[in-house]
């Protein structure tokens, strides 16, 4: 049977459709070439509008009014200038064309031979930890390719790794602290010791980001910080850890540095602080810095167990109630602090029951700073006296309601001598100086996400406020101004922050040639008053 030929329209239809598609594609390409400037300008205007909306959203509400006034003033000036609108339109089109251009992403540079060898050695070292015999398609194998495991990396001028993105299989136990610690220790050793590394684990994406942290600034001197009442600056940290910066004076200029701010007072969840460190790590420097900040709004009682006279510059200053270096003075001062805490609690309770606000004498903050109180523990046991730490139970337990803050600083070799109330009620923690991972976790309650180094400058450590993250910390330089080793700039910076010295009780100025006789007279009067009050 002979086949009938297909209709002409069906036999030539596919060819016509193909030609039509080619003509449409050619027309579209021609239109794109003709309209390319318009497309570029439109894309640029859209990007400029997005940038303007982001800038407006980031602007604080108290600054939006002046910003609108400034924009309106610029528009008015442009409108009044001859050819101003035309020049403004031309400038806008030029800016839109610049921002709307197609930006080609730079091609990643291939690592050289030494960098490739370093990445390959890192890959081989991770094989025993990131491989399993049951894996049908292992990501890590001996002699395998490191390109899939390390998709992103950066090197410094010396050829050492500064940034590394590590991919690992899903069956790796990244939720266990021991497994993560082994990987971090391995990467720290293979990437180069003597630097601090920050590890960010993405458990959902099975990725580990390793970043080399820049050293924290050590040239920040003591100064007045822009803080509110109840805020104390412990030190400064990395810009990626906090969302706040403080303007600081640095020589003749000014710079913004991210701080670690500790909030105290009635609404604080971490009302007391514990500082631990090695000798010479900067614990006394931190206590001096806290004392100078606390004297702006409150009173300070200082108890020094080291007996080195680190706080002699604060003796007799306005707001400094006592600076005690002996056991008898420490017991008397801490007993008064406990009694004052109870008095404030009773006064506040009576005022609340009567429907009145708290008395003014209970609102002024009281700070109790103790440097090495464990040194008095041995002296008290030898003399058969009460341990001064036992007097801290009331201020530690009820200090938040009474506006009483306790700060304790001690050394690691005396950590076992700290009392249970000090351990339980100091929820803000700071560790200064070189410390092992076990010591950091024991004090802070959580390991830091960075690798500690053996050699650190004074005042360098870690801080954790309550259950928050662990921050790197650098304490501002607040040395003893009476120390001969203190530089002149740091000495003047500390002396400028000291309050004025208080005058004698009778309001008279004591001549320099009558200091000895005045001391004897005052002691005699005090002895007579004590005898007269005795029953």
Helix (H, G, I), strand (E, B) or coil at 199: strand
Helix (H, G, I), strand (E, B) or coil at 299: strand
b/e burial code for range 77-107 (CB count within 10 A of at least 16 → b): eeeeeeeeeeeeeeeeeeebeebbeeeeeee
Q: Is 217 annotated as a binding residue?
A: no
Q: What are the beta bridge partners of residue 161? A: 155
Q: In what order do the strands lie in the sheet with 152-155?
A: 152-155, 161-167, 207-212, 197-202
**Residues 376, 367: Cα–Cα separation, whole Å:** 19
Q: Is 138 exposed, middle or buried (0-12, 13-18, 19+ CB in 10 A)?
A: middle
Q: Is 283 annotated as a binding residue?
A: yes
C-beta separation of 234 from 217 below 8 A? no
Single out the residue of 83, 171, 185, 77 nearest to residue 133, CA to CA.
Answer: 171
b/e burial code for range 316-349 (CB count within 10 A of at least 16 → b): ebebbebbbbebeebbebbeebbebbeebbeebe
Angular region, 227: left φ>0, alpha ψ -120 to 50, beta rest: beta
Q: Is 279 annotated as a binding residue?
A: yes
C-beta separation of 133 from 82 below 8 A? no
**Residues 45, 37: Cα–Cα separation, whole Å:** 12
Chain centroid to Cα 53, Å, comes to: 30
Helix (H, G, I), strand (E, B) or coil at 270: coil
| 3-state SS, one letter per residue, for 128-176 | CCCCCCCCCCCCCCCCCCCCCCCCEEEECCCCCEEEEEEECCCCCCCCC
Q: Kindly report the number of other CB atoms within 10 A of residue 245's CB atom.
A: 14
Q: Is 50 annotated as a binding residue?
A: no
Single out the residue of 534, 498, 148 nearest to residue 316, CA to CA.
Answer: 498
Helix (H, G, I), strand (E, B) or coil at 411: strand
Dihedrals φ, ψ of 91, to 5°?
Answer: -65, -40
Q: Kindly report the number of other CB atoms within 10 A of residue 513's CB atom.
A: 8
C-beta separation of 240 from 214 below 8 A? no
Q: Is 44 annotated as a binding residue?
A: no
Q: Is 215 annotated as a binding residue?
A: no
Q: Kindly report the number of other CB atoms within 10 A of residue 286's CB atom.
A: 27
What residues have CB less than 8 Å from 64, skipping those under 6 apart?
56
Binding-site sequence positions: 277-284
Annotated binding site for ATP: 277-284
């Amino acid at each position: 049977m002979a086949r009938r030929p297909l209709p002409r329209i069906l036999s030539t239809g596919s060819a016509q459709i193909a030609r039509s598609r080619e003509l449409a594609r050619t027309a579209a390409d021609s239109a794109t070439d003709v309209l390319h400037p318009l497309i570029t300008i439109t894309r640029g205007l859209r990007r400029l509008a997005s940038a303007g909306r982001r800038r407006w959203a980031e602007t604080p509400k108290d600054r939006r009014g002046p910003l609108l006034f400034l924009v309106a003033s610029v528009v008015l000036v442009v409108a009044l200038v001859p050819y101003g609108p035309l020049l403004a339109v031309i400038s806008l089109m030029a800016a839109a064309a610049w921002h709307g251009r197609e930006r080609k992403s730079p091609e990643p540079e291939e690592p050289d031979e030494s960098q490739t060898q370093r990445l390959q050695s890192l890959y081989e070292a991770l094989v025993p930890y990131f491989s399993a015999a049951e894996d049908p398609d292992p990501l890590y194998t001996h002699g395998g390719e490191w390109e899939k495991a390390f998709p992103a990396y950066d090197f410094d001028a010396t050829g050492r790794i500064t940034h590394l993105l590590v991919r690992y299989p899903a069956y790796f136990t990244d939720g266990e602290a021991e497994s993560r610690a082994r990987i971090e220790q391995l990467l720290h050793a293979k990437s180069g010791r003597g630097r601090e590394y920050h590890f960010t684990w993405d458990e959902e994406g099975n990725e580990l980001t390793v970043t080399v942290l820049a050293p924290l600034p050590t040239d920040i001197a003591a100064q007045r910080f822009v803080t509110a009442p109840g805020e104390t600056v412990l030190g400064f940290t990395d810009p990626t850890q906090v969302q706040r910066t403080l303007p600081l004076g640095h020589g003749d200029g000014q710079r913004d540095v991210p701080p670690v701010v500790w909030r105290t007072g009635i609404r604080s969840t971490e009302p007391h602080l514990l500082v631990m460190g090695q000798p010479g790590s900067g614990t006394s420097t931190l206590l001096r810095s806290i004392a100078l900040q606390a004297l702006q709004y409150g009173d300070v009682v200082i108890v020094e167990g080291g007996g080195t006279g680190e706080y002699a510059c604060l003796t007799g200053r306005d707001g400094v109630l006592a600076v005690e270096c002996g056991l008898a003075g420490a017991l008397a001062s801490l007993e008064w602090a406990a009694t004052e805490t109870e008095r404030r609690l009773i006064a506040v309770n009576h005022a609340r029951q009567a429907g009145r606000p708290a008395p003014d004498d209970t609102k002024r903050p009281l700070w109790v700073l103790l440097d090495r109180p464990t040194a008095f523990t041995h002296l008290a046991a030898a003399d058969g006296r009460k341990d001064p730490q036992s007097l801290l139970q009331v201020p530690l337990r009820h200090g938040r309601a009474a506006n009483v803050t306790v700060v304790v600083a001690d050394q690691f070799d005396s950590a076992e001598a700290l009392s249970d109330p000090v351990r339980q009620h100091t929820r803000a923690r700071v560790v200064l100086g070189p410390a092992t991972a076990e010591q950091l976790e024991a004090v802070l309650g959580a390991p830091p996400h960075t690798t500690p180094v053996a050699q650190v400058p004074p005042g360098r450590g870690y801080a954790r406020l309550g259950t928050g993250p662990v921050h790197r910390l650098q304490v501002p330089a607040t040395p003893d101004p009476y120390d001969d080793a203190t530089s002149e700039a740091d000495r003047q910076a500390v002396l400028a922050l000291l309050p004025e010295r208080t005058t004698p009780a009778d309001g008279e100025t004591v001549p320099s040639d009558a200091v000895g006789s005045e001391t004897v007279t005052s002691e005699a009067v005090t002895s007579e008053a004590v005898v007269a009050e005795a029953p």
